[in-house]
Amino acid sequence: MQANQNFYLNQVNLFTEVLKNCLVTNAEGKVEVLEKSLTAVVDMLNSLRTNKSDLYIIGNGGSASVASHAVIDFLNVGKIKAHVMHESPVITCMANDYGFENCYSQQIPVFLDSKSILIAISSSGNSRNICNAVQAAKNVGSTIITLSGFSEKNTLRSMGTLNFYLNSSEYGMVEIGHQFILHNLADRIRLQMNAHI
């Protein structure tokens, strides 16, 4: 029993450290202040809602689940037109016709434009289909927010307008950390909206 409790507390402490040490970089690779960056993303999302533009969130596996959960929060709480891009018929069609590495990038030019925001999630930051999608979104002028982990030199971390990086090589820590960041953004929007009621 004590060993289980110690393991639990150790995991809590590790997760706290991962969140506390979250690094944010801009498109030029310059380190940004975390709080300033979170506020900037909230402002972007509020502007998106005001302009009736669209938010798209992508990921693979557990990160796709994080994306789905975040879409619900941004749609329900933030009243933002939020979407995932991994509906089974669509993603299997794109993967079959263009290869899995292009299953998102083939959708981007159809759905996104310069008024859209793409949130790209990859624990490793090296998923080819996610990086290809980000490049496609850059090509149409979309704003891009990335969430990654594992190596600080991962590809995705240098591709976004703002890049949130969690320094952990454990999937659980990174995925839950990404979910926490997205929940935090949705909660900030909810609080702001409630304050204006």
Q: How confident is the model at residue 78, as a pLDDT?
A: 95
CATH number (domain holding residue 145):
3.40.50.10490
Q: How confident is the model at residue 196, as a pLDDT?
A: 76
3-state secondary structure of 135: helix
Q: How confident is the model at residue 3, as a pLDDT?
A: 73
Q: How confident is the model at residue 110, as a pLDDT?
A: 97
Q: How confident is the model at residue 155, as a pLDDT?
A: 98
Q: How confident is the model at residue 197, as a pLDDT?
A: 60
- Spatial neighbors of 84 by CB under 8 A, at least 6 apart, are 56, 57, 58, 64, 67, 68, 71
CA quadruple 39, 155, 102, 92: dihedral sign: negative
Model's pTM, two decimal places?
0.96
Extract the tokens encoding 69: 């959960």
Count of domains for the chain: 1
- Spatial neighbors of 126 by CB under 8 A, at least 6 apart, are 150, 151, 154, 155, 156
Q: For residues 71 and 84, is the Cβ–Cβ distance under 8 A?
A: yes
Given a cut of 70, the residues of the chain with pLDDT beneath it are 1, 197
Structural domain containing residue 55: 2-195
